Each structure stands twice: as C-alpha cells, then as structure tokens.
Amino acid sequence: MAVALTALREAMLDEKERWSDFTLAAVAGLSPLEAVRTERAMLVTAHANGVGMLLYERVGKVPLSRLSAAVFIYHLSDDMLLSCLAGTASRLERVQELYLTHDSLEWQGTPALILRHAGTRLSLALPRLVEFTRDVRARGDGTKLFTLPFELAEEICRLRDTEVMGAEADFIRTLVNIPTTVSDDRNVTPTSFDFRSAEDFHAGLLYWHTRMALLRVCTRLYTLDANVYATYELPSPVEAFIELHLLGKAIIRSSQHSRQRMGQIRRRLYAQSLLMCWGVLHDRGSGGEQSACEHQVRVWLLSRIDDLLGSSVALAPQDLDTAADLFVGGPLVGTFRAFFVTGSKV
C-alpha cells in the first residue's frame, strides 16, 4: 500500500499523469479505504473531495472516457451528501452532461440508464435548490431572491418528462417480487424487490431517493408560501403525497436486497434513501401523533440506517429528524456529519 500511495502522489505531481483515467480511478478507490479499515460505511472527505476536484478540473484538459464516466456515477451520491452538508451547490453540476454522454453506451435506451441519468441530474441540482430554500427560509419573503427556489424547483421538476416517467414504470415492471425472508424486514413489507444486478439497484435507489428529496423540498416551498407556489408548474400537495408514498414503498421493498454483500458506497446510498423515508414520516408526524404502523416503520428505519452506517455512536430519532430537515433546506448543523463522514472537514 505504501508503494501504491507513493506512486499515486508522484502521478498527482506529474502534469500529464494527474489527469489520466487511472489516477482518477485510483483516488476514487481510496475514498472508502479508511471506512473499510474501520469496518464503517463512512465517507472519508479528503479522498472524496479529491475525486470531485479531479472530475471537475480534468474537463477540457483530457478526453473523457467510459472509465471517467463510471467514476463520475460512482461519486454522485457522495457529492450530493457533501454538498448538502456544506451548504453549497455542486460544481459537478456544470460538467454533468459531458460525462453522461460517455456513460455505459450498451445500456442506451434502457429504463435503468434513463433513471440513472435522471437521478444524476437530480442529485447534482438538489444541493443548489436546498441552498436557495435554506436562504429563503432564513430571510423570509422580504427579499428579491424569494422566488429563486420556486423557479429552480420548477426547472428540476421538468426533468421528469415522458421518457423518465415511462422508464419509471418499465423499471418497476422488470423487478421480480419475492417473499421477504428477513424477519425485521417482513414486519414492514411482506414482499421485496429482487434486482437483476447491482447496477439496477444503484440506478433505482439513486433516482427514487433524489426524486423523494425534490418532492419534500416542494412540500416545504408550498408551506412557505402557497400562493407563490401555485403560480409555478409544481406538484400539488396531494400529488406529492401520493408519489412520496410510492417512492417510499419502493425504497423499503429494496431493503432485503441491500442486505446482500455490497460496497460501501451502495450502503451509504441506501442509508441516504432510508433517511429520505424518515423525512417523509417526520414531515407527516410534525402535525400530530403518528399511527402505530408509522411508529413501527420509524423504529425499523432507525435500526436499518444504524446498521448500514455501522456508526460507533448509536443514532437517535432526534439525529434523523435533524438530518432529514437539513436535506430539504433546514439549518446547517455539524452534529450529523459524524454519522456519515469521517476524516477532514467537509
């Protein structure tokens, strides 16, 4: 390992080798290294930020390839997480289309690829929307920037065009429903999805949880000013509620598959997806008491997220409440970072 790290440092100092696909892949491979060593599904920010920097800076310097596009997709969920925690827009939003043109050409036209690309665009646009929403919630409606999150939300919602909606339906139809065999999961969902591949699992979860995050932000914007909200082409509260319910069911029915052996990044992706489900229950429960069924789901979500992250500090409902609010424009707080992130500052 010491030899490999020395070689990588030398490559980073070389103007030509710094931008090569192999250097990019090597840095990406290092990003979960500490997490593997400590048996925790945590994000090592020094390496993750390095991947993001390389992905952005190499555009225009070297031709992009399928390998670099694969690293780009690999890094997406971490990029969204880091950007939202830092309260900033993602710089990769500006170069996404260049990478997506090189992504898995043999998948062209398949529902999984369409959803993966839709989830990509959502995950890169959401940090900016969260940033705008946070600013408006903090400053109130006495600012010229008040309509910015509404305008951006409308723009992002348009990403769900007829092609994406068709891919959603086709993708669900390709999933095989099997009996849930894990007792903890069976208490919540009697049937589970059997994904054909890890790539299909990744594509589905990437799209479902980012779409869920978008709808939750829309709900917050409606609460902020229903009259302004009505002037934009945004989902109504009823439409958002129905879709959130369907997305949540899809994520929960993926739990059994998530228990299979998989890499750290997909464990974090599923943990983020479950956090979005928690957020929906949190939003619904803020207006009154929850039903016994909702309480059971919350207990299950808490245990699954804790298990997926492998945190040395047990999570509490208040931790997830805070985190769920942060990803829809709530205040920036540092305490939740320890559950997803280790190493240097975000």
Q: What is the pTM of this model?
A: 0.89
Nearest to 340 by CA among 317, 321, 323: 323
Q: What is the pLDDT of residues 104-115, one digit of tens each?
A: 655 667 899 899
Instruction: Supply the range of the domain harboring residue 135.
Output: 2-342
**Within 31-160, where are the H helices?**
33-37, 45-57, 66-86, 96-100, 111-139, 148-157
Residue-wise DSSP of 131-168: HHHHHHHHH-SSSGGGGHHHHHHHHHHTTS-HHHHHHH
Of 98-102, 166-170, 259-263, which one has max mean pLDDT?
166-170
Judge contact between 80 and 336, C-beta under 8 A: no
Number of domains in the chain: 1
SS3 280: helix
Per cent of the chain over pLDDT 70 is: 86
- 145-148, Cβ contacts within 8 angstroms, sequence gap of 24 or more: 146/225, 146/228, 147/228
Task: Share the mean pLDDT of the chain.
Answer: 85
pLDDT of residue 48: 81
Split at pLDDT 50, 70, 90, the class of 344 is: very low
Residue range 303-326: average pLDDT?
81
Q: What is the pLDDT of residues 68-83, one digit of tens each?
A: 888 888 888 888 888 8
Q: Cα 21 vs. chain centroid, distance in angstroms?
A: 24
Token readout for 60 is: 């225009």
Of 21-35, 127-141, 167-181, which one has max mean pLDDT?
167-181
Judge contact between 24 and 68, C-beta under 8 A: yes
Q: What is the pLDDT of residues 6-50, one digit of tens each?
A: 787 888 888 788 888 888 888 887 766 666 556 666 677 777 888
pLDDT of residue 312: 59
Asked if the model's pLDDT at residue 217 lies above 70, the reply is: yes
pLDDT of residue 62: 86
Residue range 225-238: average pLDDT?
95
Q: How many residues does the chain have?
A: 346
pLDDT of residue 254: 95
pLDDT of residue 345: 40
Asked if the model's pLDDT at residue 134 lies above 70, the reply is: yes
Judge contact between 131 and 89, C-beta under 8 A: yes
Pairing of strands 176-179, 191-194: antiparallel
pLDDT of residue 334: 60
